Structure 1
């Protein structure tokens, strides 16, 4: 029977290899490594890697393999990368919403202090540095287009409101988004509120 320290060291090596394989900027949670050992050994291995400065603890149970900038030093991961790590832990889906969705599409220059993601899993939030990432439980209908451009557009348009979806903003989206992706949103037209449907058809047209 192996000594506990030997088990922990044995677990640490494949975890480190997995982290390096994900690349700089990767965000992960302990359950991502269950194939390598039990939860206690994984937690100890991650703690050791944090102490060595290899990885960074962002919040309780959330870590990253930080990207390095020659001037700014370690960079913070995106809110979406953190949200995806939390969703992966819970085996759930996420959909950017609110001001974060509008900012993602370039429809708003404001970077929200709270990044909201709709989810079919439990509501939870985590604060990383100055930003709070919130996963907010919602209805199956709101998640029907999750992970697709149509879902992002629905949430961004809902945040901005009908009166603020101007011809200029539609033109801006047409320039930013590839025509193939714009045409695909028509498949989800029934998931969009009635007032958004003409906007979807307009976006799907060639410039």
Structure 2
């Protein structure tokens, strides 16, 4: 009954917050849509109404929590024609910050679950879509650029999205150098 008098945006936010709270203490697979709705004090069908699925809810949560960490930084660097190392630094800095915080580590684990599991989500924000990255590698075609960015993100997410404690500064520096080398390697290698 309360669901009908609550603004849709408020219900949506309650669902996001409830999912986040539950996912802090339970595995993704163990958190049900019903549990999210109950924790949010929402109608049992609210997740499906507002998001379509649990996957879509969690991808919306990730975009809401992580998107702002990259959007301004990446837009500024790319608008200024930033170099590949500058772009990589703009990507890695928020990962390092998130890894130092328990809630941030939750977001990184969820991101790893979605990206490495190749969940087909309808990412809305440009920096979550691989196509937004394709023109950022000078002298590399769009298809090859997408492949390289996908490998780079897989590596970054594996390192930051695992259950390990936050990576040391030396590990982050080595990861940075490795990612930059992969993104800037000459084209035309064996296929």
Could you say which structure has the higher strand fraction? 1
TM-score by length of 1: 0.29
Between Structure 1 and Structure 2, whose CA radius of gyration is higher? 1
The higher-RCO structure (CA 8 Å, 6+ apart) is 2
TM-score by length of 2: 0.31
